[in-house]
Structures are given as structure tokens and as C-alpha cells.
Structure 1
Amino acid sequence: MTRTFFVTGTNTEVGKTYVSAALLAAAGEQGLQTAAVKPVASGCEQTDAGLRNSDALTLQQAMTVEMPYEQVNPIALEPAIAPHIAAMEAGRRPDPSRLAGICRGVMSGAAEFVLIEGAGGWRVPLAPRAFLSDLPRALELPVILVVGMELGCINHALLTAEAIRHDGLPLAGWVANFVRGPQREMPRSDENLMTLRALLPAPCLGVMPFDESGDYRNGAAHLDLSPLLSSAD
């Protein structure tokens, strides 16, 4: 049975890729074949092989199933700006239905645990009257929310959870990710975590401490996949 989840965040730069890669690593440690898709990525670099995005490359490294880069990241955009603006400047018009078809191809493959990672937060525009949130809606996917643990995260997390439910999708779980180092760490972090646990309508899959190395394999040890794997049985 293939278990597929859409990963979103409370904002940009909250560690969606770090958490996604850690989830893939944790699933791989349990013997599952894993795959991931980063449907739209801005902030790509020109290479001899074409445009490449560091987040998509991290996912490609973390998964166990071999896939060509173009399947992992079908829409690669060079400027590190909002995807819909980058797409417009590149003369492209991302189509959620086409992206859904690519994701379905991965979901029907050899992987048993698949992650579709979004860009930015939940309601990121792709084109006029098209949003990235249309993709998980088309695929009817449960959602994993990455909460960047910083001032304001409770409001962002609750509003995102409301939007996910409003779109008719279940929140499968959430991960608290400490994205700031010791000099900028979140005050009253334990109390904020307690509030999130009480108010978010889904299990906490893990609390990720700040990791200066950025090695997602360190993060895998802080995750509990049992709510995701049991809910799909």
C-alpha cells in the first residue's frame, strides 16, 4: 500500500525540505521504499544538466527509489521569488492538473511512502486563479504541516490548519521545527509547544531541535511515523 502525504509549512523558510527529507529517512529506516516530488521550485541554479533546486536535490538524495530529476522537480524556476511571478517571467503557466498527473505517476510506482512537498505556505499562487493548494485537493491527500517555531507560529499554524480543513483535506500530523539558533531561539518554547499540541487537531510527529549542520538524517531520530503509517492501514 502506498502512503502519500502533502507537506506544507506555516510560511517559507520553516524547514519543509529538512523535515520532508527526515521523514523519508525515517521511513527508509523502517524498510519502506520512499519517493518524493517537489512539483514547483523557484530559486534554481543553472548547471550543465539544466536548472537544479537544492531542496529537490535533497529530496532526491533522501529517497530510496531512483527517479530522474525532471520527475522529482517538474517545474524548475531560476529566480528565488514567488513561484507565480517566476513562472510568469519565464513564460510558463503551472497547471495543477498536469502536476497532479505527474504525482500520480510517482504514487503508482514502486514507492510505499511518498511525499509531495509544497512551496512556501498553503495558499501559494501558481497562476491567476490557480494555487498550489489545488494540487493536494486534486489528489485528495492528507497533509503534514511543518511549524517553524518562532514568534507568531501559533497564529500561522492555526490559520493554516483551518485553511486545510476548509479545503476538505485532513491534517495527518504536524512537526515543530526550531529554525533559529541559540542567539535567536524562541522564548517560552515549551509553553508554545504545549499550546500547539492542545489546539492543532492532529498528532505531533516530532519536535526538531535546531541543527546547525542541516543534516536531515539527524532529524529522523526525532520523528514518530506511527500516526502516519497506522492511519493509512
Structure 2
Amino acid sequence: MNRIFITGIGTGVGKTFISALLARALEADYWKPIQAGFEEGTDSDYVRQLLRGTPGVVHPEAYKLRMPASPHIAAREEGVHISLQKICEQVPSISRNLIIEGAGGLLVPVNETEFVADLIKALDAKVILISRNYLGSINHSLLTARLCREMNIPVVGWIFNDQYLHYEEEIVRWSNYPLIASVPLMKAEDGQFIEAQTAALQKRLKGFL
């Protein structure tokens, strides 16, 4: 079983949608260890909808916090301490690949001393980096890549989401991490689009995992 951790260069770059596509493409399970904010539904709820008709299972969160904020702040509000050890003890026991979705980016705090990057290390997971093309995304992408290299986090490669600007080649070259795929922005729920992107990812992933 591969543990594949999905992290982004920031918030709102499409981690959840790409996580769902990857779970479909790999016939993998999905797990979001920390959910902060659920009034409008959780990421797990969204992925569960996109995995209908597939073998993939959505596993319950280790921490489900009400406030839509950085996990350490949301946990503090509820008098909860997020423990990396507890998360590691709750890793689903499965034989299939597991897609693990993080919260925000690598330096999002999960408690008063540890970050999402520390969670990745504790889980002994490989990382797929998600970048969205926007003004400033080169800087955010390369900072993310540099931290991965400094912390010896194993990176599979980049998936770019949205084609507003074409920064992919520059980010791949400067980061020295390979391009896995570039997924156009989905403007509305479209079953045919999801099927097509799933099939494209299946082909691309064969050379990476």
C-alpha cells in the first residue's frame, strides 16, 4: 500500500478535487485526518460523492473541528490537542493505496509546535504537490518545493489545477520535481469531465507510482 499525501501550495488550490480524481484513478481509499470547518459539508462528504460507483472508501477523520480556521486554532477553540501520534495510530488498515489529504499547505500548524509537514513525515508518506496557476503561484510553489527538499520529504511530482496562466514549465524546471498532470479547472459538476480526467490520470500515474 502506498500512502500518498496530497498537499498544496496554499488554501483553495483544488486539493480535494484532485484527491478525489487520484482516488478514482488509483482505485484508492481516501482519508482526511484533520477537518476544520464542516457547516457547509466536509471534504470527505465531497469526495464520497465523486467516488460513487468505485471501490474507494472514505475513512472517518481523526479530528473533526467546527471552526473553519487553521487546525491549531480550531482545536484550541474546542479545547482539543491535535496529536500526530493519535493520527498515526488511526491510519486505515487497508491493502489498497491510500490518498491522504492535508489541510492547507506544508506550514499550516496542526498544534502549537508541529505543522502539516511534520504530519507527512510521521505518516511516512509520499507527497503529490498541487499548484494552481495564479499571480504569485511560482513563489508559493517553489517555497513549498524547497521545504520538501530541506525536510527530505519524498515528492512524487506536481499536479497543476487550472490553466489561467502557464507557469507549469517554470515551476517544474526550478523545483526539479516532475510534472504528473495538468487538470483544467472544472467550472461545474460534469460527469464526463471527471471520467476523462480520471482516465488521463490513470495513464500518467503509471510512470510515477
Mapping of residues 129-168 of structure 1, within 5 Å: 129-168=113-152
2:67 to 66, 79, 92: 79
Larger displacement relative to structure 2 (133-142 or 13-22): 133-142
Q: Report the counterpart of residue 98 of structure 2 in structure 1.
A: 114
1:28-48 CA distance string (max 9 Å, x none): 3xxxxx111101011213xxx
Q: Which amino acid aligns with 1:155?
A: N
Give the length in aligned residue pairs.
201
Q: What's the CA shift for 1:125?
A: 0.5
- Percent identical residues: 32
Q: Residue in 1 aligned with 2:55? A: 64
Task: Supply the distance in 1 between the matched residues of 2:15 and 2:160 (Cα, whole angstroms).
Answer: 11
Contact kept, 8 Å, 1:41 with 1:53, in 2: the verdict is no
Partner in structure 1 of residue 3 of structure 2: 4
How far apart in 2 are the matches of 1:84 and 1:140?
Answer: 22
Give the structure 2 partner of residue 226 of structure 1: 206
After TM superposition, list the pairs within 5 Å mapping 1:10-25 onto structure 2.
10-25=9-24
Shift of 1:140: 1.9
Matched letter for residue 170 of structure 2: T
Give the one of 204, 210, 231 matched to 2:179: 204
Render the CA deviation track for 1:36-70: whole Å, top value 9, x for unaligned: 1101011213xxxxxx8431123334262445xxx
Shift of 1:217: 4.2
Q: Deviations over 1:49-93 (max 9, x none)?
A: xxx8431123334262445xxx43121111212211111001111
TM-score (norm 1): 0.79
CA contact (8 A) 2:146 2:175 kept: no
> 82, 86, 91: which is aligned to 1:98?
86
Q: What is the RMSD of the two structures over their aligned residues, measured on CA atoms? A: 1.9
> Counterpart amino acid of 1:176?
F
User: Amino acid of the residue matched to residue 8 of structure 2?
Assistant: G
User: 2-side partners of 1:54 and 1:129: how far apart?
Assistant: 26
For the pair 1:177 / 2:161, whether they are aligned, the reply is yes
In the superposition, the TM-score normalised over structure 2's length comes to: 0.88
1:175-224 Cα offsets, whole Å, 9 max, x none, are: 0111xxxxxx73xx23x222122122222111111111245545324422
Distance in 2 (CA, whole Å) between partners of 1:82 and 1:44 is 13
Match of 1:48 in 2: none
Where does structure 2 lack aligned partners over 5 or more consecutive residues? none
**Which AA in structure 2 matches 1:13?**
G
**Paired AA for residue 9 in structure 2:** T
Separation of aligned partners in 2, 1:140 and 1:117: 14
CA gap of 1:78–1:25, structure 2 versus 1, over 3 A, is same
**Hey, what does 2:112 align to over in structure 1?**
128
